[in-house]
Structure 1
């Protein structure tokens, strides 16, 4: 854990002192009881209209600025294209050695004739999936994206459907994809043109999924060069090499501005950063540096509760006792500001009262840390004791108490 300043330790000492009294509320799929704490110091800021900074290890949203506002991702869509192919590889639908044929459409629309980013795949040639992924992620190749889409689903449109299915499964509520390249629009059944759309939060969610579930393919994002068809090309991610320890993921440009998705690991701590809506490449890089560097300048890991430590008591209905302790399933380590004029609240959410009998170690809700922009961290809780079912008389008294006074 990072070293804490004196005022940081004081903040969370007060937080823990309050936990025993603040977290006495219960909830039936709702929330009761929270405490408010504030601390003063500098805060992260960025010129980006849209920004999101996320720490995947602690599941903490460190900084949000219009993180759910939609934008056109441009070539950033190719990260989603890659993730969709990774899923097909993991399921065994294709293998890295599976070959895909380069159609005339892929060659003409995404290859050399298009005068856009390409791996220069030869028309009618057959290319292994792994080499197409290298072309996609190192060359930012549109022909590679189209060939992969046609190989898996027969067309760009059909593959976009697969992308949207995956997005829905990941909870990317603000995203909709119409093709695997990020270029152009698609006419929907109503005759209206649709473009690719996403949000900063969704892009961070996608990056976390790749890091968690497809770690073996993640190094493709940081390979420095790739030669195909005797043409040597360096990695076209404009952020790579510009920010220390950045090892993925990509960048885009569209009508709504320049955007970027970055993942950086330093000294065992990884953060994911997204910026969007910037005027040019220079502004995008400057904004990304502001957000990424802010993770180390303004935040420190702070332990709120240790694994197994009691957080609060949950009400129990119909048992030999009226409550049971709830404990942290694992260490509750949160990346929180070293300071800032920020209000942080702690609250416990669980479905209650718990019905007896209650067994030790039963998952029972979660602890949440809330900042000005909503929940920045959540961790599961479980029961730290057992409550047997009460006698007929005890259950009757419990029922009367519940109907007269509620859960409190």
Structure 2
């Protein structure tokens, strides 16, 4: 074995010697070259090295041309980004109602009600108003707040709309005021929360409001406190409740705040319109609802009631939402209609008329006056349907860039209310809106989250409807001098 090991060591030594001699021979060969040959070899080597470096540089810089390298934000980063935008643009992102982003001639509408407002439901833009901040009792429109709380709790899994609701004695129809709107609840009836909601939406049952309040919060007092807390959370500073049905004149709100609430209500719970507020009528109690001692009567005791909304089934696209009347606020109506994907909401309070016939005539007149004008004068352009969610921009001269890109995101993505200017209809004008995007080819030397680096202009012909900033969705620190030099070199390729 020792002999074998000796031979192996000897061979290794010979191999090393041979390699060294080869290197020396190549070097000696180069030294023996003529001056011209030496220059040629050095030039060729330099060109080869330059080609390798150029290829490496092009390959590296090409990574800044592939937007797929833009990495998504983490959940924590996304929360921080949205919080930053909410702070920078509170009126566009957090306020439910807002002014139109362009100037228009004030509409001269023939509205009979003492207070009124008309809004675009897609973005909360106010199109028309009259005494919209006057404080007035909402009457039975208060029941929308009851339904809002039910839908909210159901969405959070706290309750189910198919729950059977016990009926406290004070919710029975026989114990309600004589002039109260009723669903006609009674002793021993079996009724689900879903049926009570229909009783609220269609028949405006004060008895249903009491039953729901007790079921959700254990008492009317606790439920009213919940109603006021929800109002505060929505920023409704002039809206206050003392009971859930709207019967009491000490419940207070304004047309503006009711419109803001209705906008949020429909946006969060569109099923409220689809299943409840658009229902043309209700029959209650049916046989299934009756106590055991009345089952033999079948459906014969059911009382048929039409939806209290006088424009439902009359106005094209009308699918809600709620009426209200007490003597202190007269005839109120929260109205909504949708045509060709565009929805408007109007609220009228202190409506004119003596008796329900005249009161409903006023509701129909005012609702028609505002809604028809809105559909003729405006339509919506939806940026989310037409434009990309973000624009990936190379972040050059920055460090720790991960995916090498920053995303420029519109600061808000609300629909744009488009005025009827030149097309044959408002919808034609909405289809003619162009989005003009202005942004840099790259951002150099660091990026700051929320900083504006471009903009989108929504234009109808030469008219600028709205300008939305394009903001960075993340922060990158400025690179060191070497990183900035590389970034400057890469910028030549853009």
TM over 0.5: yes
User: What is the distance in 2 between the residues matched to 1:77 and 1:252?
Assistant: 8
User: What is the distance in 2 between the residues matched to 1:108 and 1:326?
Assistant: 59
Structure 2: gaps of 5 or more residues: 1-86, 91-100, 286-301, 354-358, 391-397, 400-405, 422-444, 459-464, 482-494
1:363–1:258 Cα change, 3 Å = farther
Give the equivalent residue in structure 2 for 1:211.
266
Bigger RCO (CA 8 Å, 6+ sep): 1
Give the equivalent residue in structure 2 for 1:103.
168
TM-score normalized with structure 2 length: 0.56
Confirm whether residue 199 of structure 1 aligns to residue 254 of structure 2. yes
Moved more, 102-111 or 113-122: 102-111
Higher strand share: 1
Give the equivalent residue in structure 2 for 1:347.
none
User: What is the distance in 2 between the residues matched to 1:110 and 1:378?
Assistant: 57
1:236 CA displacement: 2.2
Give the equivalent residue in structure 1 for 2:16.
none
1:389 to 451, 469, 478: 478
1:334–1:110 Cα change, 3 Å = farther
Give the equivalent residue in structure 2 for 1:293.
372
Contact 1:307 1:330 in 2 (8 A): no
1:204–1:381 Cα change, 3 Å = farther
* Alignment: residue pair count: 323
Confirm whether residue 248 of structure 1 aligns to residue 320 of structure 2. yes
Confirm whether residue 232 of structure 1 aligns to residue 304 of structure 2. yes
Give the equivalent residue in structure 2 for 1:147.
211
1:364–1:105 Cα change, 3 Å = farther
Moved more, 330-339 or 233-242: 330-339
Contact 2:173 2:183 in 1 (8 A): no
Structure 1: gaps of 5 or more residues: 1-27, 186-194, 311-318, 340-355, 370-375, 393-408
Contact 1:103 1:124 in 2 (8 A): no
Contact 2:140 2:323 in 1 (8 A): yes
Give the equivalent residue in structure 1 for 2:335.
262
1:57 to 116, 122, 130: 122
1:300–1:99 Cα change, 3 Å = closer
Give the equivalent residue in structure 2 for 1:351.
none
Per-residue CA deviations over 1:326-369 (Å, capped at 9, x if unaligned) read 76357675214436xxxxxxxxxxxxxxxx8425xx44589999
- What is the RMSD computed on CA atoms of the aligned residues? 4.2
User: What is the distance in 2 between the residues matched to 1:377 and 1:257?
Assistant: 39
1:221 to 266, 277, 282: 277
Give the equivalent residue in structure 1 for 2:426.
none
1:307 CA displacement: 4.2
User: What is the distance in 2 between the residues matched to 1:367 and 1:84?
Assistant: 38
Higher helix share: 2
1:44 CA displacement: 4.9
User: What is the distance in 2 between the residues matched to 1:332 and 1:127?
Assistant: 40
1:335 to 402, 405, 417: 417
1:79 CA displacement: 1.1
User: What is the distance in 2 between the residues matched to 1:37 and 1:170?
Assistant: 26
Give the equivalent residue in structure 2 for 1:120.
184
Give the equivalent residue in structure 1 for 2:344.
271
Give the equivalent residue in structure 1 for 2:363.
284
User: What is the distance in 1 between the residues matched to 2:171 and 2:450?
Assistant: 50
Q: Where in structure 2 are the equivalents of 1:388-407 lying within 5 Å?
A: 388-389=477-478
